[in-house]
Amino acid sequence: MEIKVGSKIRNKEIKEIIRLSNGWLLLKTENGKSAKDFRVRLVTSTKPLHSMVPKHAHFVIDLYGKLCQDKSAGMNVLKAIYEVWKTKDVRGVLQKYQDASISLKGYPLEYILYALNWILEQEDINFTGRPEKKQKELDTILSSLGFSVPEGRLGSELAISLLCDVGSGTHPVEALLKANLDIAPRRKF
C-alpha cells in the first residue's frame, strides 16, 4: 500500500503526512464532525499495515511512565508539550528538549509533539463550550504548574489539564476519571 496525500487509509482520505525519524508516519485524514475536522492516525508499518488512532489516554500513560522513570526529565516532556500547545514550532521545541528526554522509555518525543500538536488542534476545531465551573477547574490545574491558556485554545485545554494533573502527581486513572474523558477500548474482531 502506498501512503501519500490524496490516497485513502481505512476509507479516509489522507490530507497531510509527517514522516518521523524512526520510520513511523503520522497522518491527518478526513473525519466527519465538521468541515474542518480531521483524524490523526499513526502508521508504524506499511507491510503489513499496522496503524492506530492515538488517544489522550496513550499520552497520559506515557507521561506517567516517564515521570516515574525520572521526574525532572518527565516534566521536561510536559514543558515541551506545553510549548507546542502555545503554538511554538514543533522542530524548535523538539531540538530544545530532545536531549533532556532521550533516555526515557516510551514514545519518542518527536512523535509525542507532532501527534499532540494535531490532536490538540482537532480539539480546538470541534470545541463548542464547557460549563464555567469545569473551565475554572481546568484553569486551576494549569496555573498550579505556572501554565496559562493561549488564545483560541480552550477546546484543547481539557487534554492539557489532564497531562498537567498527572504532572502534578495525580495517578492517571484518577486524572482520567476526573476529566470524564470517553476512552473507548480497542475493538476485537
Element (H, E) at 16: strand 12-19
How much is the mean pLDDT over the chain?
A: 91
Q: What pLDDT, on the 0 to 100 scale, is given for residue 73? A: 96
- Ordered by start, the domain boundaries in the chain are 8-52, 56-179
Q: What pLDDT, on the 0 to 100 scale, is given for residue 184? A: 57
**How many Å separate Cα 155 from the centre of its chain?**
13
Question: 8-46, pLDDT tens digit by residue?
Answer: 888 888 899 999 999 999 999 988 777 788 999 999 998
The model carries a pTM of: 0.91
